[in-house]
Structure 1
Amino acid sequence: MPTEPVAGLQLSPRARQIVGAARELLEKEGEDALTMRRIADRIGVKAPSLYKHFPDKTAVEVELMAILLEEMAAALEAAEAAAPGSLEALFEAYRGYAVAHPGLYRLGTQKPLPRESLPAGLEERAAAPLFRELGLDEHTGRAAWAFAHGMVVLELAGRFPDGADLDEAWRVGAAAFTR
């Protein structure tokens, strides 16, 4: 899967290849597979050559987190444009993206966010659709995001009982936050 530079970050073609390989490993095998040696093997080079492009694995992870935020922002913006003012549409886009990219989602949401290393404004852009169209205040917006995140984490972990109507649970959640 091609990986483009995020929000003004200028990556060399080789750095983009490294990030793409890291993303493929993450999505296919999970975070434990995300090692510099495995990334290097995937692109057919020796691990030390990766350090010409990234100082360490954490730097690769930061780029992956930025990609998550960029792509999530784009998914939410598209949902906002298609259904202005619909929290249900935003939740559907959020859930759809997270379920389609579980490895990237987990990496980007289960560790502290390295805000100082991310492109300026990217985190805010990813959150903006919750606030902009719906007029949610800061606290309600965070609560709505926490609901969506919790639902996704439980779904990805297979924690809902067989036969649970998750679509209805999402609708009920959206209704609870809609003014």
Structure 2
Amino acid sequence: MADRARQIMAAARELLDAEGPEALSMRRIAERVGIRAPSLYKHFPDKAAVEAGLQAQGMVRLAQDMEAAEAEIGDDPPLLVLASAYRQHALAGPHLYRLTHTRPLARAALPEGLEDRAAMPLARAVHGDIDIARSFWAFAHGMVTLELDGRFPPGADLDAAWRTGCEAFADLLQNKNGGDAL
């Protein structure tokens, strides 16, 4: 990626982090870079391409966060460790999380293998059971989205809700594996 394209992506990320996805416009990005909006089109064909680049950043960050969590599992329940990392990932960058995980994913623009890389720690934790992995991801995504949206009542014990969900999935996985401990 050329220097100007990197500057454009950095400016888009700054806008996203500060103001959310609604702030992303070619005009606003160009202003931040110090160029005219039509000049952006020399580097990105449209706003969707900039958003795809941001989604790739979000997926890289998710992969890194999940891999770091997986390396720290130790004696702790794997699903609880991964869920905690996923939650922290979302809460640390809510606008990037939303852009990456609540809109259609620009898969064609992702580096090859990135989506699989981000999913592998969970896939390993559930012994490759794709149905449990997808269901668990849906649970984690739903919990964190509700938290970001402020949908839980004041005083709700979200840590307990996460723990309960993780334990339910661990029990399901244990039962599917004939009672073998995780």
Could you tell me the TM-score, scaled by structure 2's length? 0.89
Q: How well do the aligned residues superpose, as a CA RMSD in angstroms?
A: 1.2
1:22: Cα distance to partner? 0.7
Q: Which residue number corresponds to residue 7 of structure 1?
A: none
1:136: Cα distance to partner? 4.4
Tell me which of 34, 42, 61 is aligned to 2:32: 42
Q: Which residue number corresponds to residue 113 of structure 1?
A: 105
Tell me which of 145, 169, 172 is aligned to 2:164: 172
Aligned residue for 1:52, secondary structure, equals coil
Q: Which residue number corresponds to residue 46 of structure 2?
A: 56
Q: Which residue number corresponds to residue 81 of structure 1?
A: 71
Q: Which residue number corresponds to residue 180 of structure 2?
A: none
Task: Map residues 1-179 of structure 1 onto 2, 5 A cutoff.
Answer: 11-84=1-74, 86-178=78-170, 179=174
1:121: Cα distance to partner? 0.9
Give the distance between the partners of 1:86 and 1:66, measured in 2 at CA: 26
1:133: Cα distance to partner? 3.1
1:134: Cα distance to partner? 3.2
Deviations 1:22-66 (A, max 9, x none): 111111111111000000111111111111111111111111111
Runs of 4+ residues deviating >4 angstroms: none
Please tell me the residue identity of whatever aligns with 1:61: E
Deviations 1:88-118 (A, max 9, x none): 1111111001111111111111221121221
Unaligned runs of 5+ residues in structure 1 are 1-10
Give the distance between the partners of 2:91 and 2:80, measured in 1 at CA: 16
Percent of residue pairs identical? 58
Unaligned runs of 5+ residues in structure 2 are 175-182
Please tell me the residue identity of whatever aligns with 1:116: A
Please tell me the residue identity of whatever aligns with 1:27: D
**Bigger mean CA offset, 13-22 vs 150-159:** 13-22
Please tell me the residue identity of whatever aligns with 2:141: H
**Bigger mean CA offset, 144-153 vs 22-31:** 22-31
Give the distance between the partners of 1:86 and 1:124, measured in 2 at CA: 18
Could you tell me the TM-score, scaled by structure 1's length? 0.91
Number of residue pairs matched by the alignment? 169
Contact 2:56 2:109 in 1 (8 A): no
